[in-house]
Amino acid sequence: MIKKSPTAAVLLIGDELLSGRTRDINLQQIASYLAPLGIPVRETRIVPDVEDEIVEAVNSLRVKYTYVFTTGGIGPTHDDITADAIAKAFGVEISEHPEVTAMLAKRYEEMGTDYTPARRRMARIPHGAQIVANPVSGAPGFQTGNVFTLAGVPSVARAMLEDIGPRLETGAVIHKITIRGRGLREGDIAEPLGALAKEMPDVALGSYPWFRGIGDNGVHLVASTIQENLIPLITDKLEAIISATGVQPERVEDANA
């Protein structure tokens, strides 16, 4: 029997992700961290620094997916409202966590930095939450039920995932192969690809065209399956589909290259 996989959603919080000023990288690094654990990200939302929007998104995602990962809004400034929003979403109180306060006070003392009221805000944790360690900059994230609240700074979010990993139930790992056809057009392979998708229902087949200009276009075909033994067969079939058009198929490790 194949184990049913846990699922994840990612909630990215911050006005500047929506305005286009900042291009998010946290979704990619969370998805890449979870993939080898067999936990696919099934939905992502980006909301502004507005409490009601955060509360609504958290409550809608946490009942639908096994895990929710939020990033952003847990710093010391006035626009950092995520911790309060999470407390509100769970209907719990929030206050300074004694151990976190002690840890931050010690850290700032060692740095010769004042532990100001703004910095104390970073010790405010929803009641009942577990701490998520932040080895990079000290101020922790936290876990409230199935919701993990991480920093928005990518290097900090990445470090926090290491502390979270052991707490997660793992699932069936999805194996992937990507084949590239330079100059290939989707319309040239759509029929045999669709037929193959029907023939192999245990494999998800995706077709991703790129077009950066004349002469720099093509298609990436991606096959995903939890049945690793199907990978050689599906690779041959995808290569044959591309070859039949006269295009030389190429296997790619990093399809973003």
Q: Under rule CB under 8 A, which residues in 143-202 are in contact with a second copy? A: 152-153, 155-156, 176, 178, 185-187, 189-191, 193-194, 197-198
Packing angle of the helix pair 186-199, 231-243 (nearest 10 deg): 150
Could you give the dihedral angle defined by the CA atoms of residues 230, 201, 43 and 66, in that order, rounded to the nearest 10 degrees? -80
Least separation in angstroms between residue 176's CB and a second copy is 8
Give the nearer residue to a second copy in terms of CB position, either 127 or 155. Answer: 155
Taking CB under 8 A as the rule, does residue 51 contact a second copy? no
Give the nearer residue to a second copy in terms of CB position, either 49 or 239. Answer: 49
R_g over Cα of the chain: 22
C-alpha span between 201 and 39 (Å, rounded) = 20
Give the nearer residue to a second copy in terms of CB position, either 75 or 126. Answer: 75
C-alpha span between 246 and 257 (Å, rounded) = 23
Least separation in angstroms between residue 128's CB and a second copy is 26
Residue that is written with structure tokens 């979270």 in the block:
164
Number of residues that bind a second copy (CB under 8 A): 74
Q: Could you tell me the CA-to-CA distances from 145 to 30, 74, 151, 195 in Å, in that order? A: 18, 18, 18, 43
Restricting to residues 59-118, which ones interact with a second copy according to CB under 8 A?
75-80, 113, 116-118
C-alpha span between 236 and 218 (Å, rounded) = 19
Cα dihedral sign, 110-113-116-119: negative
Give the nearer residue to a second copy in terms of CB position, either 138 or 145. Answer: 138
Restricting to residues 2-21, which ones interact with a second copy according to CB under 8 A?
14-21
Taking CB under 8 A as the rule, does residue 141 contact a second copy? no
Taking CB under 8 A as the rule, does residue 215 contact a second copy? no
Give the nearer residue to a second copy in terms of CB position, either 114 or 127. Answer: 114
